[in-house]
Structure 1
């Protein structure tokens, strides 16, 4: 080693030693600072705006839970940064490395459950862990060190910048000069330490959503919360995940598993609940599950949310518990993001949006530590609007001081919504087959049940169910039944499921119920009843009555007449969810989540007669008679007045500022055709036809669609214009299917065969004298479109039909999870 290198090493060690000697003691560093004892003792330096945290030597390498969340949000559903929104939760620990302390997240996705430390170590070292942050030691004394947590708390832990960027809302980053610690929500308790900060994001090119909610669009200020939480003890018993039981779950790979056994271990997520008297059929719990309602919730919504959430006590009674589930108002002294409180939050946004239930979960076991519900406050107003559209209630002199059927329906939905989202935080997934079992679960998405009175008026008295469903009792029994006295836990839990199957209760969840990707004929969103075909007929009857009765009585006196369109949209499109359920019968597949040896039958295509009946009723929804708007409605709706701008809740239009009835018809036809010509549905029809030539096939469906659109008897006037609109929508979706590279070759070939035949038919028809000018124009346009499609193939794009206003959920717009809900 040369002389310069030796000198350099000497200086490095010398400087390090001086640095170590310069580190003050904790007594010196914290001399004039405010000490807060708790799970992690911390000191608040108000002059410097800093938080210093103590870590004792025996706390190193000790795991705890770290949760970040957003206490004050942005207020835009589209951006998706809500007040009291949970962020990530993860197990972490502090690890000291020389003069630095690391915050480490171990990898619990890969484990070795074994008594062999070397086997554990081999798995631990095989997969990456994550170091979330590095801290400098600022003081040390007697085996305890002090770290500066400030920069960690002031960073964008919730991913606000990235969310804004993803939504094309601008390029923003944290401006430290406009950010600070938020002392009012920085708290300490024996089992959890809570920190909060004010973060201001500054940037450029703010998008429309940011401009609509931020008072100054280049400065977005939110509050971010951080929780350090003691992990639960080891007494919690994980419960086996069963795909038939209706629970969310955790999973990990256990590399100590004997060869021949499943490597992946799966357990449900659930709260800890134990009986005081395990031997009793009915017992109080050792500790009840308590949820707290946001005290900022107004009446009468407050009472409705409390009622709905409390329904769950019925399910816990069915599982053998007395008073195991309670719902109370959050005390003023408590903070909603404190992990000790299961919360039901009432959240405001500038536009309607999803409500959802999430949880803080111990990833080691699946134990739910905190249930956390966010309920969008505009949802109840949309339900009220739907009721106004259905009932046309504002007759001359009519008042609703006491008996208000619109409010009754809206609150009934809020009760069901409260129960639904709390159900998620208890560990339960959606059960979209429950509507076929007489509303057997609040974990379904219920449509408002509208009955038709003998005098052809509409009735909403039974719009939504009350109380918990039979499936919900089964699910809670599976997840929370006390198994202390059970001889065989697996057998006992399997018995719960087998009893439900024997009672004809069916569980089918998310992906299988979605109209685009799903194929199950009994699992639908926003539907009622066991027969989707009959229900669509009923819904269309309800829609016809509501449109026939539609008048200025649909809005309160003193309201601008243009606001009639707001009430009209959900009524004209009232069938939008039932067609999503009915279309799933076409190319549908009956199946269950059965296990080997179970009693449920294997997959089987829906009966051909049912598929054909579903196709017939679906095509009725695009007939001119179904899509025509009563003339009196068209004559009622003027352009928007000053102060009442257009919104995305209204129909898209070609005739702005005038109301566009043909545009509304195009929108409705687009919804139906998009569903019918789904590429997966088309492929299943090809398959079913290949296996049995008598079955409805894709070619059969396309022929029927063409016969009832382009080749149907020619209408005149307004109905003729609707017919042409529908024809062009049919053409667009057939071409899309024929050019879709993700569709199977057989689907594309059949679609192209039918398109070429249609083009030839149009050529011949166009050469003959058409009944009307609009018919001649439509034929010529269609022929030329198909000729270009033939010449240019997939590179050709025709005009896309108008899309519907936001719908699902009723009372919300589609969102990330989508997880969780127009209802």
Structure 2
């Protein structure tokens, strides 16, 4: 609809009146004498702007619903009536895709963005919508410091609305303000639309206003739900030229390629944040919780304080009587339990397993003093009483996607860390991932894993495990990559011990399945479950504490941790972001990476000869064999990574000042040396077990020689990383008995070049490896600048660091070992038993080394 301003209408009317008057004058000249002059007409008054009487705006034709905001619909326009009591109150907006176009990686039910906002009255009869950020805060609103913080942290005005009307309730004496919100929700304001990153990624240019509209607005006591259909214009991908890829990288959205536009349904939930915030539970790096925080400016402090607090649900007793029972050790039900609804779009046979994954957490909450604190409910296919886009409800959403994953986010109050709701994303193809994992890690022990399609009961158990893991994230838990390192490797082969404890103390670890257990051990329980760490962590966050302040609770929890950890070291948390501590690793098991990986490779060697038989299907090609073999190689490379991290490793054990011991210490020398010897044995000695002739002949034209070389090169690159070499230098400088750079170089060189002493023939695979070694050492010797290295902090802040190898002993030691190797090669070249290919190879390596030592 074309809109014309009041001012434009007035000007147009004035012009028309002038033309009409002139026409009448000319007509009068022809028929009658001129009339006596009259006084000029008084110009019409311009229409009044600004608020109108309430009944002129919200007429009897309006359809009205009451809730958080009273919503009025008048023809195609929507109005919010905002009570004065809500002006300035924080509201969380959560915008999700309800129905998506065919967009790679985007599915109906996924969150686009979230933002805290508030409405406030502005000048000139405006209502402002501000986007609220919690970066710097001052706790005392009466103190001068509060004003200073406000002066330096002005919240952005994201939208301005004209006030259409005011209303005064004669009964409650409360006032309210009416604004029109049609264009705001139809439009492209970032808070209720696509985030800029998404637009850039998919080459979306602008919103198509004529094809965008509000589908419905529903309002409830604490939230209002706005459903819109939005169409965006976009730039189609560049066409290919003669089959060549586009010169401009882009994500191909079929709808944009076909029409230049993409349409999707979007739901924005506006949920009122509680007036009384939940008491914070301060973050503790010894317990793995997601956290939020801000900088506090307090007049009583002599410095700014970074306040960080855990993210968790608000569990409270229903009444004082229940609170007293809980103090006496009785389990009570919370006032508001945590409930997840299973998406009706979920295939029926998997729903019960997703529900079990949620319900499994009940025992952990019981340890914190709550019964029936968490549960899942399966929504009926025809249930219309609950909308899964409504921010009051948490859900497990099922996506028809080929992505091999699932994820568990949460939406929380940034003022306190209180979780408000969560939507777990469950991709259909996560089952493909589970099948690949289970066959690779368990087929040597469990015959049920030896097929392309797992039985429903087994797949259901695996789904239950992943469901529990993702639910763990939604109740606040991070990954605990250190949990499995508290378990002695040999215990992983003990059926009785596994039955009692499981193979990892935490389902939040990336421990996956028990690949250590051998076929002769009799271990049947191979997948993770909620363990001792999980139960402790839930108790830490969700028990009711009596401290008057969060600081009081922090002191109580600190004492609890010290006491509990002394009794049970299995509650240890190892962060997922530490690049140096070999105890905190993804996909690994046990307290000894070398021994655990040795057992893992034994099982891989059992699986490989059987893969052709286990993956064959009538009238099918060898795609399943190729996929299964690829997973074997991937698992083998994981083992290599687990072991390599021990070299130059630094243990990190967060502590408070009232705990004994150090926070940082080097990985013991014996473990580092054992790791290098393992790499020599399992990687640098050609892993011929991977080159199974029956498999190679079916899935690839070559014989795998180059593939082995790539694995060996990646291992050497990782092992010789500058930051790892520098850590070896630094720890040896402080601890005389620590594993040194020179010793590591010696152990690697003597293994890779063992033929120089044994006088054995150097085969093709070993010749490739030795050339790789020479090139890597020359590259290290001739480094020309600062090499970036990973830094970290257990509080979650990545601190970049850098090392210039030219200013360290790295260059010196590298040169020394190349000189030694040069002499050894010269000696080997004069041996009469040296074959022709060996001679060519050694001459070439000698030439490269001499050139590397003197590049001029």
TM-score, structure 2 as length reference = 0.77
Give 2:356's aligned residue. Answer: 307
SS at match of 1:432: coil
Give 1:442's aligned residue. Answer: 507
How far apart are residue 229 of structure 1 and its match?
A: 1.1
Q: 1:123 to 1:392 in 2, by over 3 A?
A: closer
1:675-694 to structure 2, matched below 5 A, reads 675-694=718-737
Q: 1:386 to 1:241 in 2, by over 3 A?
A: closer
Which of 749, 752, 757 in structure 2 is aligned with 1:709?
A: 752
Task: Output one character per residue of 1:222-252: Cα deviation in whole Å (capped at 9) or x when no partner.
Answer: 3333221111131622222222222222222
Task: Output one character per residue of 1:462-508: Cα deviation in whole Å (capped at 9) or x when no partner.
Answer: 32123x21111111111110124999634432233123311113534
Give 1:554's aligned residue. Answer: 615
Which of 263, 271, 276 in structure 1 is aligned with 2:313?
A: 271
Which of 535, 538, 544 in structure 2 is aligned with 1:482?
A: 544
Give 2:528's aligned residue. Answer: 465
- Kept in 1, the 8 Å contact 2:581–2:650? The answer is yes
Task: Indicate whether 1:498 and 2:562 are aligned.
Answer: yes
Task: Indicate whether 1:183 and 2:215 are aligned.
Answer: yes
Task: Output one character per residue of 1:337-368: Cα deviation in whole Å (capped at 9) or x when no partner.
Answer: 31111222233434434x33222111111111
How far apart are residue 258 of structure 1 and its match?
A: 1.8
Aligned Cα root-mean-square deviation (Å): 3.9
Task: Output one character per residue of 1:637-679: Cα deviation in whole Å (capped at 9) or x when no partner.
Answer: 246xxxxxxxxxxxxxxxxxx3561243134224423432233
Distance, in Å, in 2 between the alignment partners of 1:155 and 1:541 is 58
Q: 1:736 to 1:403 in 2, by over 3 A?
A: closer
Distance, in Å, in 2 between the alignment partners of 1:131 and 1:747 is 56
SS at match of 1:256: coil
Give 1:626's aligned residue. Answer: 687
Task: Output one character per residue of 1:168-198: Cα deviation in whole Å (capped at 9) or x when no partner.
Answer: x5532234157423526x4221111112333
SS at match of 1:551: helix
Distance, in Å, in 1 between the alignment partners of 2:509 and 2:255 is 35
- Kept in 2, the 8 Å contact 1:73–1:82? The answer is yes
Distance, in Å, in 2 between the alignment partners of 1:731 and 1:20 is 85
How far apart are residue 204 of structure 1 and its match?
A: 3.5
Which of 219, 231, 251 in structure 2 is aligned with 1:210?
A: 251
How far apart are residue 88 of structure 1 and its match?
A: 2.5
Distance, in Å, in 1 between the alignment partners of 2:304 and 2:98 is 41
Task: Indicate whether 1:129 and 2:159 are aligned.
Answer: no
Distance, in Å, in 1 between the alignment partners of 2:741 and 2:448 is 54
SS at match of 2:225: strand
Task: Output one character per residue of 1:376-435: Cα deviation in whole Å (capped at 9) or x when no partner.
Answer: 332221221344456779x9xx99999986655544333222222211221222211111
Task: Indicate whether 1:522 and 2:583 are aligned.
Answer: yes
How far apart are residue 118 of structure 1 and its match?
A: 4.3
Distance, in Å, in 2 between the alignment partners of 1:718 and 1:148 is 81
Which of 349, 356, 363 in structure 1 is aligned with 2:414?
A: 363
1:327-346 to structure 2, matched below 5 A, reads 327-330=376-379, 332-333=383-384, 334-346=386-398
SS at match of 1:585: coil
Distance, in Å, in 2 between the alignment partners of 1:263 and 1:741 is 34
1:662-681 to structure 2, matched below 5 A, reads 662-681=705-724
How far apart are residue 335 of structure 1 and its match?
A: 2.4
Give 1:52's aligned residue. Answer: 79
How far apart are residue 25 of structure 1 and its match?
A: 4.9
Distance, in Å, in 1 between the alignment partners of 2:441 and 2:95 is 43
How far apart are residue 449 of structure 1 and its match?
A: 1.0
- Kept in 2, the 8 Å contact 1:73–1:84? The answer is no
Task: Indicate whether 1:193 and 2:224 are aligned.
Answer: yes
Give 1:232's aligned residue. Answer: 274
Q: 1:229 to 1:204 in 2, by over 3 A?
A: same
Which of 81, 86, 98 in structure 2 is aligned with 1:71?
A: 98
Distance, in Å, in 1 between the alignment partners of 2:650 and 2:424 is 34
Moved more, 339-348 or 136-145: 136-145
Distance, in Å, in 2 between the alignment partners of 1:76 and 1:734 is 46
Q: 1:413 to 1:137 in 2, by over 3 A?
A: same
Q: 1:385 to 1:773 in 2, by over 3 A?
A: farther
How far apart are residue 552 of structure 1 and its match?
A: 3.7
- Kept in 2, the 8 Å contact 1:391–1:546? The answer is no
- Kept in 2, the 8 Å contact 1:348–1:377? The answer is yes
Give 1:804's aligned residue. Answer: none
SS at match of 1:365: coil
How far apart are residue 162 of structure 1 and its match?
A: 4.1
Give 2:178's aligned residue. Answer: 145
Distance, in Å, in 1 between the alignment partners of 2:91 and 2:448 is 58
How far apart are residue 453 of structure 1 and its match?
A: 5.0
Moved more, 281-290 or 99-108: 99-108
Distance, in Å, in 2 between the alignment partners of 1:290 and 1:195 is 23
How far apart are residue 319 of structure 1 and its match?
A: 0.8
Give 1:531's aligned residue. Answer: 592
1:409-448 to structure 2, matched below 5 A, reads 410-438=459-487, 439-448=504-513
Task: Output one character per residue of 1:725-770: Cα deviation in whole Å (capped at 9) or x when no partner.
Answer: 4334444544554536223422641464257437845974897699
How far apart are residue 686 of structure 1 and its match?
A: 0.9
Q: 1:760 to 1:62 in 2, by over 3 A?
A: same
- Kept in 2, the 8 Å contact 1:543–1:572? The answer is no
Distance, in Å, in 2 between the alignment partners of 1:714 and 1:182 is 80
How far apart are residue 451 of structure 1 and its match?
A: 5.4
Q: 1:235 to 1:63 in 2, by over 3 A?
A: closer
Task: Output one character per residue of 1:433-476: Cα deviation in whole Å (capped at 9) or x when no partner.
Answer: 11123411111111321356557xx988432123x211111111
How far apart are residue 612 of structure 1 and its match?
A: 0.5
Give 2:635's aligned residue. Answer: 574
Distance, in Å, in 1 between the alignment partners of 2:401 and 2:840 is 46
Residues paired across the two proteins, number: 744
Give 2:49's aligned residue. Answer: 21
How far apart are residue 33 of structure 1 and its match?
A: 4.8
How far apart are residue 617 of structure 1 and its match?
A: 1.0
Distance, in Å, in 2 between the alignment partners of 1:51 and 1:765 is 89
Q: 1:511 to 1:550 in 2, by over 3 A?
A: closer
Give 1:244's aligned residue. Answer: 286
Task: Output one character per residue of 1:61-104: Cα deviation in whole Å (capped at 9) or x when no partner.
Answer: 33322223333456777x67774225223243334231433211
Q: 1:772 to 1:139 in 2, by over 3 A?
A: farther
Q: 1:287 to 1:236 in 2, by over 3 A?
A: same
TM-score, structure 1 as length reference = 0.80
